[in-house]
Amino acid sequence: METSVVTILRGDKPLKGKRVSFEFMGFLPGGVTQTFITNSSGQAYVHHKQKGRVKVYVDGNHSPHKTVATVPSSITVFLN
């Protein structure tokens, strides 16, 4: 099992209680992870079985921030 740390920020403020998940991309997409919730530091520890490129979803939405990353890794998402 792999773990990636996702930090959600608005400006420089961490956001608690945000729902975070990954959608795996590629020739054979691997589906979507379960949802993980950010803590008071704005961090969610996303556990996943695969490695590769993902779209990061925050509160079920990818389009406002369009964050894409290679996991496992540490990822920061900036929201408006």
43-64 pLDDT, tens digit per residue, is 999 999 999 999 999 999 998 8
pLDDT tens-digit profile of 18-43?
999 999 997 766 799 999 999 999 99
pTM (whole model) above 0.85? yes
Q: Which amino acid is at 19?
A: R
CATH number at residue 29: 2.60.40.10
Structurally, how many domains does the chain consist of? 1
Q: Which domain holds residue 24?
A: 2-79
